[in-house]
């Protein structure tokens, strides 16, 4: 168990909310729980743009008191910071790169400068508040160079990093201009955590190509530094999510969906609109189901909930249009006056309603082209009714596929494969559905988000 007396400092792009369960998504809940257990500081961007930006005063909000008090500490950014650091380098270079989409990289040297500048400013501002013994845990691709900047500010504390998105093989990573400099920046961390064995192996391969030598199962000596490089698959609080699915609010959403379905079976997808999620390919997979297995006509509906994310970026607007086109086409060609094959909404749902909608669905369709983990896959399973569960159809390229082997694993690039996966799920006998659900659920409960956090912090707290 980690030493609960060392203060924890979490760094992530967005800070809060400090709630467990409720409305917040996976990352926020995991961080809030970690801080609630041991107290500490949660540091990051306020969400506001101002002229003083990273030079603005650190805004602090203290919750609780004594050793487990939590301080939320935030800084603004300037409009330029946000355009270069966030929209530019983080989302037009690192996001596509890490998702193996080198074709979508839009690299501008000034965005890289902005990225490095924001990392440097945030790190320098935080450094003034770091105490000896504090453990610093940095989240995600926005802050690859954060530890290097802290080291320059003479912070010698343990600093860990966790990447929520995939990490590609060396040949792909090296497409990044000045990739070697980025690798060197990452070596300033003590622990590099990844979602899957595959991602961790890709990092180790990159380090070995630079002369690194493994010193143990998860440790490597490279360019004079000793690091832990390890997979820590992120998880959900499966028990709480299962409870959420049985609450009154969830039941209301479930009943509403079932009324509309009128005895038909529902297939559900839930994703932020993003090209990594394989949404157009998924819609084509559903179309293929209707073509290849016409017995589903009038009997199955596909509900896709796709709230916008980073809506300012053109790529996302284009996907949305494409989805509207495909669903319009499929509904026109296959639908009937009392049957809408695809229902597609960009309206976000409360978390409890989502749980009810998962439960109302015979098939959970999670087919990203590439995904760090994918928490929707885990939520879908956790929300199922134990004695009549639905079936998860899961992309082989979601990190979750490494653990969720009882799902029906499909290739998201093949519409035929998706259609076949859905068809198998729809036809599956109840006993087999229960067997698969039980195996998946047992693993979700054992390896929940608390176990994830503890294993990471144990590695960091050496
Ligand atoms: C990144 C990585 C990794 C979605 N729509 C609604 C809603 N959501 C919630 C889901 C889920 C979360 O958002 C999405 O999490 P994912 O894991 O599926 O995907 P990313 O957002 O891309 O997250 C990913 C994750 O980080 C954690 O490390 O797994 O691979 O890409 O919790 O339920 N929640 C509500 N209404 C919606 O309409 N309330």
Q: Output the pLDDT for position 6.
A: 84
DSSP state of 372: S
Q: Output the pLDDT for position 1.
A: 42
User: Are the beta carbons of 5 and 37 closer than 8 angstroms?
Assistant: no
User: Phi and psi dihedrals of 265, rounded to 5?
Assistant: -95, 150
371 in catalytic set: yes
The C-alpha atoms of residue 70 and residue 92 are separated, in whole angstroms, by 33
The C-alpha atoms of residue 147 and residue 161 are separated, in whole angstroms, by 9
Tell me the CA end-to-end span of the chain in Å, nearest whole number: 11
Choosing from 98, 168, 270 the residue with most ligand 1 atoms within 8 A of its CB, the one to mutate for a pocket test is 270
Q: Output the pLDDT for position 68.
A: 85
Q: Output the pLDDT for position 24.
A: 56
| Total-model pTM | 0.96
How many CB atoms sit inside 10 A of residue 453's CB?
Answer: 21
* pLDDT averages per 10-residue partition of the chain, 462 residues: 72 84 64 84 96 93 89 96 96 97 97 98 96 96 98 98 98 98 98 98 98 97 98 95 96 95 97 94 98 97 89 76 96 96 94 96 98 97 98 98 98 98 98 98 96 95 88
3-state secondary structure of 413: coil
- Whether 236 is in the pocket of ligand 1, judged by its Cβ within 6 Å, is no
Domains of the chain in start order, with CATH, are 8-235+449-461 (3.40.50.2000), 238-446 (3.40.50.2000)
- Whether 164 is in the pocket of ligand 1, judged by its Cβ within 6 Å, is yes
- Whether 357 is in the pocket of ligand 1, judged by its Cβ within 6 Å, is no
User: Are the beta carbons of 357 and 257 closer than 8 angstroms?
Assistant: yes
Q: Which residues lie closer than 8 Å to 331 by C-beta, 6 or more apart?
A: 340, 341, 342
Q: What is the 3-state secondary structure (H, E, C) of 301-334?
A: EEEEECCCCCCCCHHHHHHHHHHHHHHHHHHHHH
- Whether 379 is in the pocket of ligand 1, judged by its Cβ within 6 Å, is yes
- Which of these, 128, 175, 183, lies nearest to 154 by C-alpha position? 128
- Which of these, 15, 454, 33, 16, lies nearest to 240 by C-alpha position? 33
- Whether 346 is in the pocket of ligand 1, judged by its Cβ within 6 Å, is no
Q: Output the pLDDT for position 135.
A: 96
Preceding amide of 17 cis, omega within 30: yes
164 in catalytic set: yes
- Whether 27 is in the pocket of ligand 1, judged by its Cβ within 6 Å, is yes
Q: Whose CA is nearest to atom 38 of ligand 1?
A: 348
User: Phi and psi dihedrals of 172, rounded to 5?
Assistant: -80, -45
Q: Which atom of ligand 1 is nearest to the CA of 400?
A: 29
- Which of these, 355, 402, 395, lies nearest to 379 by C-alpha position? 355
Q: Which atom of ligand 1 is nearest to the CA of 274?
A: 22
Q: Output the pLDDT for position 66.
A: 86
Check 237, 371, 415, 417 and give the catalytic one.
371
Question: What distance lies between CA 180 and its chain's CA centroid?
Answer: 26
Check 164, 190, 199, 417 and give the catalytic one.
164
Q: Whose CA is nearest to atom 6 of ligand 1?
A: 348
How far away, in angstroms, is 272 Cα from ligand 1 center?
Answer: 7
Q: Output the pLDDT for position 25.
A: 63
Q: Output the pLDDT for position 26.
A: 63
How many CB atoms sit inside 10 A of residue 172's CB?
Answer: 19
Q: Output the pLDDT for position 312.
A: 57
Q: What is the pLDDT of residues 196-214, one digit of tens each?
A: 999 999 999 999 999 999 9
By CB atoms closer than 10 A (0-12, 13-18, 19+), residue 65 is exposed
The C-alpha atoms of residue 358 and residue 279 are separated, in whole angstroms, by 18
- Whether 348 is in the pocket of ligand 1, judged by its Cβ within 6 Å, is yes
How far away, in angstroms, is 386 Cα from ligand 1 center?
Answer: 23
Q: Output the pLDDT for position 313.
A: 66
How far away, in angstroms, is 154 Cα from ligand 1 center?
Answer: 36
User: Are the beta carbons of 124 and 151 closer than 8 angstroms?
Assistant: no
Choosing from 165, 193, 272 the residue with most ligand 1 atoms within 8 A of its CB, the one to mutate for a pocket test is 272
């Amino acid at each position: 168990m980690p030493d609960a007396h060392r203060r924890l400092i979490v760094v992530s792009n967005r800070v809060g909310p400090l709630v467990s369960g409720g409305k917040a998504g996976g990352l926020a809940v995991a961080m809030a729980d970690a801080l609630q257990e041991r107290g500490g500081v949660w540091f990051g961007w306020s969400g506001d743009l101002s002229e003083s930006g990273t030079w603005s005063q650190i805004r602090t909000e203290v919750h609780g008191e004594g050793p487990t008090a939590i301080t939320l500490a935030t800084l603004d950014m300037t409009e330029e910071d946000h355009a270069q650091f966030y929209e530019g380098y983080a989302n037009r270079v690192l996001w596509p790169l890490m998702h193996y989409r080198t074709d979508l990289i839009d690299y501008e040297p000034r965005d890289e400068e902005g990225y490095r500048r924001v990392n440097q400013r945030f790190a320098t501002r935080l450094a003034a508040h770091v105490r000896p013994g504090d453990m610093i845990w940095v989240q995600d691709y926005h802050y690859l160079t954060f530890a290097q900047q802290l080291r320059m500010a003479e912070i010698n504390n343990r600093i860990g990093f966790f990447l929520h998105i995939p990490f590609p093989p060396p040949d792909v990573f090296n497409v990044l201009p000045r990739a070697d400099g980025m690798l060197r920046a990452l070596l300033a961390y003590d622990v590099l955590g990844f979602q899957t064995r595959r991602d961790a192996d890709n990092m180790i391969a990159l380090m070995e190509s630079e002369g690194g030598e493994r010193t143990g199962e998860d440790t490597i000596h490279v360019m004079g530094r000793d690091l832990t490089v390890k997979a820590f698959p992120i998880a959900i609080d499966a028990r709480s999510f299962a409870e959420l699915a049985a609450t009154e609010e969830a039941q209301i959403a479930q009943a509403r969906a079932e009324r509309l379905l009128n005895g038909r079976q529902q297939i559900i997808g839930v994703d932020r609109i993003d090209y990594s999620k394989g949404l157009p390919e998924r819609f084509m997979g559903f179309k293929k189901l209707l073509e290849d297995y016409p017995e589903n006509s009038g009997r199955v509906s596909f509900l896709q909930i796709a709230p916008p994310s980073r809506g300012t970026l053109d790529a996302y607007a284009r996907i949305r249009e494409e989805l509207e086109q495909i669903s319009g086409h499929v509904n026109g060609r296959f639908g009937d006056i009392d049957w809408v094959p695809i229902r597609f909404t960009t309206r976000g749902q409360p978390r409890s309603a989502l749980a009810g909608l998962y439960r109302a669905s015979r098939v959970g369709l999670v087919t990203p082209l590439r995904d760090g983990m994918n928490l929707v896959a885990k939520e879908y399973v956790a929300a199922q009714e134990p004695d009549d569960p639905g079936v998860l159809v899961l992309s082989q390229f979601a990190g979750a596929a490494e653990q969720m082997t009882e799902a029906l694993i499909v290739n998201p690039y093949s519409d035929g494969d998706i259609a076949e996966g859905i068809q198998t799920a729809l036809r599956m006998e109840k006993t087999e559905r229960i067997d698969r659900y039980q195996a998946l659920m047992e693993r979700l409960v054992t390896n929940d988000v608390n176990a994830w956090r503890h294993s990471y912090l144990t590695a960091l707290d050496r």
